[in-house]
Structure 1
Amino acid sequence: MDAESLLSDLDYLSAVGITLSTEQKASLQGSLVLLKSKEKFHSIVFWGKISGIAGQYFIVQGRGKDPMKERKNLYSYDCRKWAQLPVLDATEQEKALKVHSRFMGDAAYEAEYVEPPVKEEKGDPINVVVREENRLAAIVNVIDETVFVVPRAAYVKTAQESVQKNGSFGGLSRAKAGLLSSYLHFREPVLLQNKTLLQRSNLDKSIDFMDSIDEDVPNGCWSLQMVRGGDTAVLKSLWWPGYVFFHMPGTKKYGGLYWGTGQQNRDLPFML
């Protein structure tokens, strides 16, 4: 959710329980302006909040000129002081995701899991320690890749292969706002290359360069509703409960954030 319109955009999500205190709003407004200037971000977005047992993490994402390639995630306990989340390699990411317990709310806290010995080798199971700051970075990465979306045509890919906001985007129509195919994963495409040449021929290369969420599995992992008399589309992830996105058809107003415990609904395939 764009920091510049954060306070007004939050009003659209208050009905689903996403609110900030007056003190938190004031702290965010001031600290994000300073953070953007200090880190020389092209833009900054309020990513959301992950709640722990004893504390909570507020997350923001700083972006460069190409928001698809240039991202930096930061966290705070109080919306005032921000620290960068570590950039994990593939091995660190894999280890961090093997811990499934609730977050504590303390970045220095260390959780453990048991790594069984390799089948071909003899030995005892190994206790692996994972720092919560690494877990937080890993979960933010996964949620960002899995559920953060934008409306179709909100971004364009230039001839130089860079991604930019589409200045001529005026919003989806009411009819299209009610279709899952109108929302795209804001990440590098994963499924696009699997499409046939015939399927690709129907796509506009400048705006259809991301994966549509209507292809996500399992079928039914998204909930899309038109509320306020059809004036607002509200999209929710059932895979990652807590991610909510809104869009006002016919306008440039849209935004999404995550507001949860950082736990995936692993029972979803059995619930559908």
Structure 2
Amino acid sequence: MDVKYLFSSVDMLKTANCSINEDLIPVLYDSLIRLQSENHFNSVYLWGRLQTLSDDYFLAYGHYGNPVNKKTFFYSQNVIEWSLIPTDYPADGSDLVKTMKDRFKGDPRHVQMANLFKPWTDQMAENNTPSNMSADVYGEGEGEEIVPEGRSKNVRASDVLSLFEMEEGAMTEIYGSRDSDATKMIKEEDRLAVTVDMIENETHVVPRGFLYKLPNGNIVNAPYYKGCWAPQIIFNRYFVMHNLLWPGAVFFQDMNTGVHGFFYNGDGIKNLDLPFMLKC
């Protein structure tokens, strides 16, 4: 939301069940104006607040021209001093963040562990098939029966070993093992940058199936689930839309004055269960 309409936008946020401490608003306004002056931005917007286990991250961005093409993001934990969000995070940062379900600690220097598993392919399954899993063919023609080597044709249900009863070594022999190097580390500051970038790309108010242009010039389909926005009209004046894919993301507009904005107030965890929550 634009800093010029910060006070009125904060009042509209209350209708969307989202509020900011009243004592922080004047301090937040002064710090954002100072951020705009120091960096010579055309405009500065308060983007959101990411909730953590300790000190929350307040997020803002500024731009020099068209805000769609280039946004410079900052974060602050005391709403006075602002730090630049890094843009040189690891190349596999998006894949790492998608596997992380724990909340932010509130320390930008905190290092978190993430598991990056490789997808299982048919070629990997063939390479990891045990050599002793051969079979004998009994009978001829269409009625022939395939029986594993060393087994009799009459196998009882009690002779079948369930997967839960198999030892770890046998499971590794059949299915193979993941690479131990799949566990990687990522700083919370980098995770914050990746999360903000993902929310920015996935909370556009664009109908599903429409084409839209990315900042880098690529034109892609809107990859959002049908029904990911939950709209409502409050007091016959305010139009509010909650995003279900990223809980906490809200778009609001005063239909009388035209003042509108976007604010994110969540824990930075994506709702991957959304496809199962919507009607087909």
TM over 0.5: yes
In structure 1, the partner of 2:252 is 246
Which stretches in structure 2 are left out of the alignment for 5+ residues? 128-176
**Contact conserved, 1:243 with 1:260, CA < 8 A, in 2?**
yes
The residue identity in structure 2 corresponding to 1:34 is R
Residues of 1 paired with 2:99 and 2:255: CA distance?
40
Which stretches in structure 1 are left out of the alignment for 5+ residues? 151-179, 195-214
Query: Over alpha carbons, which structure has the higher Rg?
Result: 2
1:261 to 245, 255, 267: 267
Residues of 1 paired with 2:213 and 2:14: CA distance?
24
In structure 2, the partner of 1:142 is 198
What is the CA-CA distance between 1:92 and the residue it aligns to? 3.6
Give the aligned CA root-mean-square deviation in angstroms: 3.0
Deviations 1:58-88 (A, max 9, x none): 0001112111112111000011010001003
In structure 1, the partner of 2:170 is none
The residue identity in structure 1 corresponding to 2:196 is V
Aligned-pair identity (%): 29
In structure 1, the partner of 2:74 is 74
Q: How many residues align?
A: 221
Q: Which has the higher contact order (CA 8 A, sep 6+)?
A: 2
1:21–1:244 CA distance, 2 compared to 1 (3 A): same
What is the CA-CA distance between 1:27 and the residue it aligns to? 1.4
1:95–1:249 CA distance, 2 compared to 1 (3 A): same
Q: Secondary structure at the match of 2:92?
A: helix
What is the CA-CA distance between 1:106 and the residue it aligns to? 1.0
**Contact conserved, 1:52 with 1:104, CA < 8 A, in 2?**
yes
In structure 1, the partner of 2:83 is 83
In structure 1, the partner of 2:56 is 56
Q: Secondary structure at the match of 1:12?
A: helix
The residue identity in structure 2 corresponding to 1:107 is P
Q: Secondary structure at the match of 1:144?
A: helix
Deviations 1:122-149 (A, max 9, x none): 9534431110000000000111111144
Residues of 1 paired with 2:50 and 2:228: CA distance?
21
**Contact conserved, 1:76 with 1:82, CA < 8 A, in 2?**
yes
In structure 2, the partner of 1:105 is 106
**Contact conserved, 2:213 with 2:220, CA < 8 A, in 1?**
no
In structure 2, the partner of 1:167 is none
**TM-score, normalisation: structure 1:** 0.72
What is the CA-CA distance between 1:10 and the residue it aligns to? 1.1
The residue identity in structure 2 corresponding to 1:226 is I
**TM-score, normalisation: structure 2:** 0.70
- Residue 25 of structure 1 pairs with residue 32 of structure 2: no
